Amino acid sequence: MIIVQDGCFALQTPHTSYIFRKDAAGNLLHLYYGEKIEIEEEGLAKVCEIMAPVITNQNGCSLIADTAQPNLCLDDVCLEISSRGKGDMREPYVELVLADGSSTSDFRYENYRIEESLLTPEGLPGAYEEKGNGQSLVITLADRNSKVKLELVYGVMEDCDCLVRYGRLVNSGEETVTVNRLMSMQLDMEAGVLKITDFHGDWAREMAKNETILRQGKYVNDTSVGFSSNRANPLFIWADTETTQEYGDCYAVNLLYSGNHRESAQAGGHGKMRILAGMNPDYLCWQLEAGEAFCSPQAVLTYSHQGYQGVSGQLHYFVREHIVRGEWKHKERPILINSWEAMYFDVQEKKILKLARTAANAGMELFVLDDGWFGKRNSDASSLGDWYDNKEKLPTGLAGLSEKIHKLGLKFGIWVEPEMVSEDSDLYRKHPDWAVRIPGQEHALGRNQMVLDLTREEVRNYIIESMSDVFSRGKVDYVKWDMNRSITECYSVALPSDRQGEVFHRYILGVYDLYERLTSEFPEVLFESCSSGGGRFDPGMLYYAPQGWTSDDSDAIERLKIQYGTSLCYPISSMGSHVSVIPNHQVFRKTPLHTRANVAYFGTFGYELDVTKIPEEDRNVIASQVETYKK
């Protein structure tokens, strides 16, 4: 519920309240976020009066931005948003450079409106409510130094005690303005010390929980590789140092965004904390022309007084009910057998059918043909971009194979990596300029491949055409959409020099465009995202692909940590988890079959090993595991 009275605003959920107000000069003062305060509609102004900071004098370092408020130093109060240049020396929410080169903004309250729907940022994923429910509060602020307006958009998700937020800049002037930063969320709090929990890692080490006590200074969790990454997930949790799993104040923010992100906590000398989350401003420089608008991605924000478990349950519910869409939202996910660890690139129809038949006999429901089926893909050195059948491996092509798999009573799934191109590919030979690189300079290769320039429409159209063809000729029921390298030499030949700072963000907008078009064209297909394992495991991806491959590390013991970290925010229906062979291919550990299944049960279950080459006894155990999981 949204309550408004005399410039005071309260966002109420069953167990939380979020309260802010405008002051006499039009600054937005943040007053409260936490356990619910029951407020009558006509009582809000009174509550805000009690909560408002009493500012009676300046401190020795105060900077006074406005003579109308002689004691107000913006650095000393909790603000709903802040900008550079007017005395708030903390990290800002928004940063613009005007045509004259100046970078001081002074956003003041102009008006508000309430919309009877959940608004979402254009071109980006957004939380939704079923059946057009939902309300949004939009606060418009106007910059005193330019003709730029800033809309702060809030949505209230009552059933999970979550709020969603994003910002929208509108250039109503005649000159282009440079946007160097527009975060998704700022939260200023009265808190001297916080325990921050974030999730770091690397390949095969995703979602490693990391705890830091912040008393002074700044703590930053960010990524610059071009996607949300296995190095730092956008999930950011902060709590009282005494908070336990089940008790105490706990807050979390996550981003519906799959690109470079930054979350920070900054402690002030007088017991205030600022939390910011959004696109990583270090890699953003956006030209906002006259009449144009620019949105930051949506952030989801939640609070619980029931500790980490409270916050985690609320985020699970949020993802399941307000992010995951389409046919598979509430459907049981098929138990799958994946070919990767069973045969890697040595794909042969005969082997595939034997594996599929054995899996079907054990009760599995979906066969996924992983990498190695197309072009001349005998290793990772070639063929990404050439999405035609390799007839030596699949004599009757995807169409014939799919028919045979379906005849075994299994669904058929396929692996693709649409965003990439191998240097050794027909596509690259034909369109070398389609890859992200700087003309005339050497470029880095990752897994022998390059990133396609998704900022370009013709590149996206090629991908749509080739993927539509793969999905239809293979009559696929499931797609594993992989993405295996970071963006280096970030540059697009299709953009002018002053727009190169837009490439990272435009790339992700391109990814979302591809996902949106392909999921709409193939609504019945189950999509699973993957990025060398869990490198792009974020709410933005889950909006299109309801499940993600959690990690390339399939060792059950390693997985305990990885799946535990992931489970702090993401529901088990979103986590791909498979039983693999022993000795494990990543860490060479030998773990009993029942232990491997006991771990893999806590996700979207499957097998990723050659079940034709294990003892008969183990095959029987697998059949009973499949039965158990279905129950």
Q: Catalytic site residues?
A: 482, 552
Between 334 and 533, CB nearer to ligand DGJ: 533
Min dist CB 321 to ligand DGJ, Å, is: 28
* Minimum CB–partner distance for residue 359 and ligand DGJ (Å): 17
Question: Taking the complex as a whole, how short is the minimal distance between the CB of residue 474 and ligand DGJ, in angstroms?
Answer: 16
Identify which of residues 386 and 482 has a Cβ nearer to ligand DGJ in the complex: 482
| Stretch of 59-67, 139-147, 463-471, 529-537 contacting ligand DGJ, by CB under 6 A | 529-537
Minimum CB–partner distance for residue 599 and ligand DGJ (Å): 17
Rounded to 5 degrees, what angle do the CA atoms 621, 624, 625 make? 85
Determine the 3-state secondary structure of 496 from DSSP: coil
Residue type, 530: C
Q: Is there binding between residue 558 and ligand DGJ (CB under 6 A)?
A: no
Does 415 help bind ligand DGJ (rule: CB under 6 A)?
yes
Residues 6+ apart with CB under 8 A from 224: 260, 280, 282, 283
> Is the Cβ of residue 162 or residue 347 nearer to ligand DGJ in the bound state?
347
**By CB under 6 A, residue 370 contacts ligand DGJ:** yes
CB of 544 to ligand DGJ, least distance (A): 18
> How many other C-beta atoms are found inside a 10 Å radius of the C-beta of residue 549?
30
CB of 576: closest distance to ligand DGJ in angstroms? Answer: 9
Sign, Cα dihedral of 469, 473, 478, 484: negative
Q: Which is nearer to ligand DGJ, 115 or 380 (CB)?
A: 380
Nearest approach in angstroms of CB 609 to ligand DGJ is 13
Single-letter amino acid, residue 498 = D
Q: Considering only 65-73, 168-176, 383-391, 526-534, which stretch makes contact with ligand DGJ by CB under 6 A?
A: 526-534
533 binds ligand DGJ (CB under 6 A): yes
In the complex, what is the shortest distance from the CB of residue 376 to ligand DGJ, in angstroms, rounded to a whole number?
15
User: Which CB atom, from 92 or from 535, has the smaller least distance to ligand DGJ?
Assistant: 535
Cβ atoms 261, 277 nearer than 8 A: yes
CB of 134 to ligand DGJ, least distance (A): 36
Q: Is 527 in the site for ligand DGJ (CB under 6 A)?
A: no
Task: Mark the segment that binds ligand DGJ (CB under 6 A) among 100-108, 166-174, 502-510, 530-538.
Answer: 530-538
Q: Which of residues 534-553 bind ligand DGJ (CB under 6 A)?
A: 549, 552
Nearer to ligand DGJ, 143 or 528 (CB): 528
| CA–CA distances in Å: residue 402 to residues 100, 184, 341, 519, 624 | 61, 44, 20, 20, 27
Q: Which is nearest to 334 in space by CA: 480, 518, 447, 532?
A: 480
Residue 532, interface with ligand DGJ (CB under 6 A)? yes
Find all residues with CB under 8 Å of 84, minimum gap 6, and list them. Answer: 92, 95, 103, 104, 105
Residue 213's CB is within 10 A of a number of other CB atoms, namely 10
Least distance from ligand DGJ to the Cβ atom of residue 256, Å = 23
Inter-residue contact 527 to 483 (CB < 8 Å): no
Counts for the chain of helices (H) and strands (E), in that order:
12, 30
Q: Which of 120, 484, 550, 563 binds ligand DGJ (CB under 6 A)?
A: 484
Give 349 or 370: the residue with its C-beta nearer to ligand DGJ: 370
Q: Is 32 in the site for ligand DGJ (CB under 6 A)?
A: no
Q: Is 354 exposed, middle or buried (0-12, 13-18, 19+ CB in 10 A)?
A: middle
Least Å distance, CB 417 to ligand DGJ, is 7
> Binding residue for ligand DGJ (CB under 6 A) from 143, 371, 477, 528?
371
- Residue 498 CA to chain centroid, in angstroms? 27
DSSP codes, 125-162: -----GGG---EEEEEEEETTSSEEEEEEEEEEGGGTE
> Residue 296: which of 261, 271, 328, 323 has the closest Cα?
261
Of 6-14, 275-283, 527-535, 614-622: span binding ligand DGJ (CB under 6 A): 527-535
Among 157, 421, 530, 599, binds ligand DGJ (CB under 6 A): 530
Quick one: 159 or 424, whose CB is closer to ligand DGJ?
424
Q: Which two tokens stand for residue 359?
A: 């899996």
Taking a C-beta distance cutoff of 8 angstroms, is the pair 459, 418 a contact? no
Nearer of residues 187 and 369 to ligand DGJ, judged by Cβ = 369
- Structural tokens at position 343: 């045969």
Residues with Cβ within 8 Å of residue 233, at least 6 apart in sequence: 198, 199, 200, 206, 207, 537, 538, 569
Measured from the CB atom, is 419 or 552 closer to ligand DGJ? 552
Side-chain-facing half-sphere of 548: CA atoms under 13 Å: 29
Bond prior to 583 in cis (omega within 30° of 0): yes
The answer to the question of residue 386 lying near ligand DGJ (CB under 6 A) is no
Q: If DSSP codes are grouped into helix, strand and coil, which group holds residue 123?
A: coil
Residues binding ligand DGJ: number (CB under 6 A): 11
**Spatial distance between the Cα atoms of 159 and 164, rounded to a whole number of angstroms:** 13
| Residue placing its CB nearer to ligand DGJ in the complex, 252 or 530 | 530
- Binding ligand DGJ (rule: CB under 6 A), the pick from 340, 373, 471, 507 is 340
User: In angstroms, rounded to a whole number, what is the distance separating the alpha carbons of residues 553 and 547?
Assistant: 17
Query: Interacting stretch for ligand DGJ, rule CB under 6 A, among 62-70, 184-192, 492-500, 528-536?
Result: 528-536
Chain residue whose CB lies nearest ligand DGJ: 371
CB 353 within 8 A of CB 404: yes
Q: Site for ligand DGJ (CB under 6 A): which residue of 482, 502, 538, 558?
A: 482
Residue-wise DSSP of 424-454 = BSHHHHH-GGGBS--TTS----BTTEEEB-T
Q: How far is the CB of 532 from ligand DGJ (least distance, A)?
A: 5
Give the residue with the Cβ less far from ligand DGJ, 82 or 449: 449
Going 304 to 307 to 312 to 317, the CA torsion angle's sign is: negative
CA distances from residue 281 to 63, 568, 589 in whole angstroms, order as listed = 26, 26, 42
Question: Cα-atom radius of gyration of the chain, to the nearest Å?
Answer: 26
- Check residue 80 for interaction with ligand DGJ (CB under 6 A): no
- Give the footprint of ligand DGJ on this chain (CB under 6 A): 340, 370-371, 415, 482, 484, 530, 532-533, 549, 552
